[in-house]
């Protein structure tokens, strides 16, 4: 292996340690403990796992978590009421509605109902709108994109002036991470399933963010030698040798690309832990901005 591993698990653990210290200081100085409400609708296994991991991280850093497990057939009005009640709850500084929501629910309206000051996922239309313009600081930046940038920063990768290619254009990762890279003065390309000569475009990247949701799509000959590769994908593929019968792989063919890239994140243990660490950071920031703080 020639590439240096970007160890998201270790970096996230460091960040959680920093947050834990700040949470303790806040408690001592202001008698306030940050609170995060995690709203889960339905029974999707992946969403259940993500929410469980988020609550576990809260416990580790000293953030109080409030769990809401709601039935898949909840009405739009009932879910809106849950969100509005959480908006009014002074012990809750961050509200997270796990996505995707069941099809009958209008996620745009739900996300728009979350108080701007508690939008720790950064998906409120106003926060996203601010992210999409110059010099309009959003109150919160979405966690996975923020985690990608943090991984680059903490690994000593400079972004300014580099060619950054984002593979994928989702609302949750592709589009917001592209905005963050642009704000950091990268020269940006966003590519996707309709892009002509996708390997050729990806090969231009000094920094590649793969967030397309296709298992091991990015091959070794798609990557410029010396590139930095951040793999956001989490794809389950059959693996009869694994206890669960499947394993998780990224959007990047790790074994091939590690021989070409200068730096690469693994899956699991790359971006995933950073998403949760950034959620803890946003929740702490939300508590810092609340009433009664200096
Ligand atoms: N689903 C996939 N990623 C995310 C995330 O970062 N936040 C929420 N709320 N849902 C998600």
Phi, psi of 228 (to 5 degrees): -105, 125
Q: 290 by DSSP, 3-state: which?
A: coil
Q: Which residues fall within 8 angstroms of residue 29, CB to CB, at 6 or more apart?
A: none
- Residue 242 has what pLDDT? 96
Mutation probe of ligand 1 site: the residue of 37, 47, 86, 99 with most atoms within 8 A of C-beta: 99
CA dist., res. 108 & res. 127, Å (int): 13
Q: 167 by DSSP, 3-state: which?
A: strand
Residue 283 CB less than 6 A away from ligand 1: no
Q: How far apart, in Å, are the Cα atoms of 131 and each of 86, 95, 138, 139?
A: 24, 19, 6, 9
- Residue 1 has what pLDDT? 66
188 strand-pairing partners: 164
239 C-alpha vs ligand 1 centroid, how far in Å? 26
171 C-alpha vs ligand 1 centroid, how far in Å? 10
Residue 172 CB less than 6 A away from ligand 1: yes
CA dist., res. 9 & res. 292, Å (int): 34
Phi, psi of 40 (to 5 degrees): -115, 125
Q: Please report, for the chain, how many H helices and E strands are present, in that order.
A: 10, 11
294 C-alpha vs ligand 1 centroid, how far in Å? 31
Residue 53 CB less than 6 A away from ligand 1: no
CA dist., res. 286 & res. 284, Å (int): 5
User: For the chain, which ranges sit under pLDDT 70?
Assistant: 1, 290-292, 294
Which among 230, 136, 140, 143 is positioned nearest to 183, based on CA atoms?
A: 136
Would you say 204 and 163 are in contact if contact means Cβ atoms under 8 Å apart?
yes
277 C-alpha vs ligand 1 centroid, how far in Å? 13
* CA 128, 131, 132, 135 torsion-angle sign: positive
Mutation probe of ligand 1 site: the residue of 108, 144, 281, 283 with most atoms within 8 A of C-beta: 144
pTM assigned to the model: 0.97
143 C-alpha vs ligand 1 centroid, how far in Å? 8
Does domain 32-115 match CATH 3.40.50.10860? yes
Residue 38 CB less than 6 A away from ligand 1: no
Q: Which residues fall within 8 angstroms of residue 1, CB to CB, at 6 or more apart?
A: 258, 259
Q: Which residues fall within 8 angstroms of residue 240, CB to CB, at 6 or more apart?
A: none
Catalytic status, residue 121: yes
* CA 74, 78, 83, 85 torsion-angle sign: negative
- Residue 231 has what pLDDT? 99
Half-sphere exposure of 98 (CA within 13 A, CB side): 26
* CA 150, 152, 155, 156 torsion-angle sign: negative
Q: Which residues fall within 8 angstroms of residue 234, CB to CB, at 6 or more apart?
A: 248, 250, 267, 268, 272
Same fold, 32-115 and 143-271: yes
Would you say 252 and 205 are in contact if contact means Cβ atoms under 8 Å apart?
no
Tokens for 39, please give them.
């709203």
- Residue 78 has what pLDDT? 98
Residue 98 CB less than 6 A away from ligand 1: yes
Q: What are the residue ranges spanned by the domains of the chain?
A: 32-115, 143-271
* H/E stretch holding 272: helix 271-289
Tens-digit pLDDT profile for residues 114-131: 999 999 999 999 999 999
Of all protein residues, the one whose alpha carbon is nearest to atom 9 of ligand 1 is 98
Residue 96 CB less than 6 A away from ligand 1: yes
- Residue 291 has what pLDDT? 64
Topology, domain 143-271 = Rossmann fold (3.40.50)
Residue 275 CB less than 6 A away from ligand 1: yes
- Residue 249 has what pLDDT? 98
47 C-alpha vs ligand 1 centroid, how far in Å? 8
Selected catalytic residue, list 7, 121, 231, 251: 121
E strands in 84-213: 94-97, 163-167, 187-191, 207-210
- Residue 279 has what pLDDT? 98
């Amino acid at each position: 292996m020639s590439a240096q591993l970007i160890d998201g698990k270790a970096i996230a653990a460091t960040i959680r340690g920093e947050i834990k210290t700040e949470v303790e200081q806040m408690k001592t100085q202001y008698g306030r403990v940050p609170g995060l409400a995690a709203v889960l609708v339905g029974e999707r296994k992946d969403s259940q796992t993500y929410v469980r991991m988020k609550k576990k991280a809260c416990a580790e850093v000293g953030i109080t978590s409030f769990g809401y497990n709601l039935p898949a057939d909840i009405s739009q009005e009932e879910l809106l009421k849950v969100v509005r009640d959480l908006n009014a709850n002074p012990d809750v500084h961050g509200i997270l509605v796990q996505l995707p929501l069941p099809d009958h629910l209008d996620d745009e309206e739900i996300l728009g109902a979350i108080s701007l000051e508690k939008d720790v996922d950064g998906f409120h239309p106003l926060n996203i709108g601010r992210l999409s313009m110059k010099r309009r600081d959003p109150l919160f930046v979405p966690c996975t994109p923020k985690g990608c940038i943090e991984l680059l920063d903490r690994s000593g990768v400079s972004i300014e002036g580099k060619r950054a290619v984002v593979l994928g254009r989702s609302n949750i990762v592709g589009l917001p991470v592209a905005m963050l890279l642009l704000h950091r003065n990268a020269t940006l390309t966003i590519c996707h399933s309709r892009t002509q000569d996708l390997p050729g475009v990806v090969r231009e990247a000094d920094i590649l963010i793969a967030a397309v949701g296709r298992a091991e799509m990015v091959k070794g000959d798609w990557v410029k030698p010396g590139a930095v590769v951040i793999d956001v994908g989490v794809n389950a593929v059959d693996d009869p040798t694994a206890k669960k019968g499947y394993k998780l792989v990224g959007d990047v063919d790790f074994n091939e690309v590690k021989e070409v890239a200068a730096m690469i994140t693994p899956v699991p243990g790359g971006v995933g832990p950073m998403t949760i660490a950034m959620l803890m950071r946003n929740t702490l920031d939300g508590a810092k901005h609340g009433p009664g703080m200096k």
